[in-house]
A and B are shown apart, each in its own frame.
Chain A
Amino acid sequence: DQQVKQNSPSLSVQEGRISILNCDYTNSMFDYFLWYKKYPAEGPTFLISISSIKDKNEDGRFTVFLNKSAKHLSLHIVPSQPGDSAVYFCAATRSGGGADGLTFGKGTHLIIQP
């Protein structure tokens, strides 16, 4: 039972355009969500996070949107750059206690085309 789902294994976007990566979750106890970027043979690098008390968080070219009623979040990257080509993982946890490990989706491979 996958509690965090990234339904697009890959996404191709032209350089300069907007990249939108989607993530759905099923566990209503999750209240803290994160996006990580991963290059081959490296560990995940933290990008941006959002608490369930917010519906939007922005950091430079990266914006995360959270729709709690739909149990859906998305990561927007604008404008997309060649260095953004990587695998992006959505992760979730309960920040208030209980299990402290992150639950990850399977990732979306973002390819930025010149």
Chain B
Amino acid sequence: NAGVMQNPRHLVRRRGQEARLRCSPMKGHSHVYWYRQLPEEGLKFMVYLQKENIIDESGMPKERFSAEFPKEGPSILRIQQVVRGDSAAYFCASSPWRQGADQPQHFGDGTRLSIL
């Protein structure tokens, strides 16, 4: 998984606090995807961003969740007023351009979010 960097690796928050998860894509990649994995489940798509643009947020919960990918700096997934159900592993992936036959997404090692 070299290249896609996520931090922190582990994040503990109390109910009602905010969680910020960061993702730096692989060098040369301008497209970022966020996924969430609950225990014993597969990864679920949340949002797809290009620099400064949200392309598809169909998998994002309507409230409390937001994502950005600014011109400079990493992509940020923000969860406001966290609840116990937000506890999960959050993975970021990147690709060099729009998903195509020869452009798989490459994943980071994830952030494990635990809500007390």
Binding site for B on A (CB under 8 A): 4, 6, 32, 34, 36, 41-46, 49, 51, 53, 89, 91, 93, 95, 97, 99-107
Q: Which of B14-22, B67-75, B102-110 is the interface stretch?
A: B102-110
Docked complex Cα distance between A79 and B72 (Å)? 46
Docked complex Cα distance between A35 and B54 (Å)? 26
Docked complex Cα distance between A46 and B94 (Å)? 12
Q: How does the 8 Å CB contact mask read for B26-62 relative to A, with 1 for contact and 0 for none? A: 0000000101000011111111100000011011000
Q: Is the CB of A32 within 8 A of B100?
A: yes
Q: List 7 A-B contacts (CB under 8 A).
A: A43-B1, A44-B107, A49-B102, A100-B99, A101-B46, A101-B58, A104-B44
Docked complex Cα distance between A97 and B44 (Å)? 19
A32 closest partner in B (C-beta)? B101
Which single member of A41, A89, A100 contacts B55 (CB below 8 Å)?
A: A100
Give the contact-size bracket for chain B: 20 to 34
B99 closest partner in A (C-beta)? A100
Smallest CB separation, A73 vs chain B (Å): 15
Binding site for A on B (CB under 8 A): 1, 4, 6, 33, 35, 40-48, 55-56, 58-59, 91, 93, 98-102, 104-110
Which residues of chain B are near A95, meaning CB under 8 Å? 99-101
Q: Is the CB of B48 within 8 A of A43?
A: no
A93 closest partner in B (C-beta)? B99
Q: Is the CB of B109 within 8 A of A42?
A: yes
Which single member of B42, B102, B107 contacts A43 (CB below 8 Å)?
A: B107
Q: Is the CB of A42 within 8 A of B40?
A: no
Smallest CB separation, A30 vs chain B (Å): 12
Q: Is the CB of A43 within 8 A of B4?
A: yes
Which single member of A49, A99, A101, A104 contacts B104 (CB below 8 Å)?
A: A49
Docked complex Cα distance between A49 and B99 (Å)? 12
Q: A43-B91, A46-B106, A99-B56 are in contact. Are A104 and B1 (CB under 8 A)?
A: no
Docked complex Cα distance between A41 and B107 (Å)? 13
Which residues of chain A are near B107, meaning CB under 8 Å? 36, 43-46
